[in-house]
Structure 1
């Protein structure tokens, strides 16, 4: 009995690229194929592979041969724009976490960049079934090539995201460069991370929102706002939000992360992240009613960020700058250590090696008359002194007994 050949599928990275090229979210694909969103995520990261009829439907959906079915028109309930109620899940899937709004397309200039090739795909804990297709092995990249690939994929969009967080162009470029310099300094850790792009994004956002920038002289004066009045109004509304609210809104409605991922990156619980998102949307809708819908807000965030000429530096320049910074800090640490050793040696040489009790100050004692200096001698005292001086120094001769 011969087995029917299965429908060929592209590689996991190509699956994600094809999905984003059609402006489909993972929830849309899951609804069209008839699986859960977690299953689609595992198909895209290479943990599992679809089989049977779901494999055929998934392949046709990626190639655009089949339109999205009617299940896509009614996605599972999630956060909606300007809503004030809590986040709720579908009653049929109560055990699954809250899903992001399907009307917000993840593919945009602010969306998550596709992950670069950092070597072979990680293997799942359990071996795949006999029908799972094997990916061809590719030559592993050098650390320089892997870092340059990650920088080329993430840096342009990350600079635009950071500009929306701070409203400062130079600070956005500096934050991204510092994040990638730190990533290059810790490259083994970042390369083995499950989401290197998320690691760099979180580092850049934290550096950009640091309150210590207020003490820098060049950051005391605001930069020129965008020229378009609509862009200037949206950026002004964003900058008036608290930093954590601004970051939550950008990650969810701008980048396209789901609610648990947004909560994890902002170091908050999922209900806290949902409340921050709802309050941020309410504040934006109050000032700009035309952006009450999440889809319109997502589009406007991408337009405002793309209107500015924000170019990131070359990856070789960033790597060289990170190495130079590391050398400078190393030299400063060595110099400080030498100064500390010299000061310690000088202290040991000049410090006393034994205890010397301090001299107590003089004090008068009651009942003892003060010592009086002798006055002039009388005639009798002078005669007595002369007599004493005339005698021998050893005194009168001693009487020695003699035998009888």
Structure 2
């Protein structure tokens, strides 16, 4: 099978990555993808398959959390945010009902136990942001800190409100003003202006065991169901819900960032030390990617690990190297950086994986990268 046509270039020595990308494009059901890699400050891979291209903008689902985490790191670099401070220092109402001791680092590393409000939220509250944030501030901790509990949607609501309390603006505005506009990056939280992003295709075939696990772990009432739907406020499949105009015009920093492949890779490259346009210094980066929590995730059911918003290597997040950080998304998007290897990578496919926590395309690409620059 020939698969979708492949365009773009790879640097000398990076042929194994092109071969892996070509193998992905030959898989049944693939509609196209983009792959961009920066290694030690130089672009080494810039590939596009099928209908994907350099200017294609795509919703990246939970890979949005890595973008949002970069914004929070920039605020920390500017001295406006202290990861070790209590959230209540910036957002006094958050400190109610026994939450006064929760730190910013604990909030951003999915330890706050606020995966959904106790009372059912409405979709309008989720999309508006602040009503859901107010509801979460009025909650008690469901679990004590110390184990991760993946806040699939509410992580972004909480981070957005924290940014609003610090800057007076929304997280998407910080992204635009402090990162994207100065560095000419095509990334946004939602799409308040301009044409809609390219659509995603649902997985053509989901294996029986994956369907069975989803039916058990994500049945109504379970922590995974509550986190993924905000206790039933979201009732459509992700690829359908995220394509709605009301979703695209909202600011959901955990789920609806829109990016091109090149811009996402460049953002991660600018988090690495030693680049001419580094967004943060070494101490801030180390604090942002320091492992704050690890263990069996109360929501995902497998081991996860987090820094301040960034996913870290674990059973849940396969990032290809023990020193990498970043975030994948349920649609198959992946953005990451690896300071030890000087690597920044973005992969945006147009077809969703059957299993969001085990995308074989990620494994294939990361293994090919390891063949070129080492593990």
Which of 1 and 2 has greater Rg? 1
| TM-score when normalising by structure 1 | 0.21
More helix by share: 1
More strand by share: 2
Greater RCO, 1 or 2 (C-alpha within 8 Å, sep 6+): 2
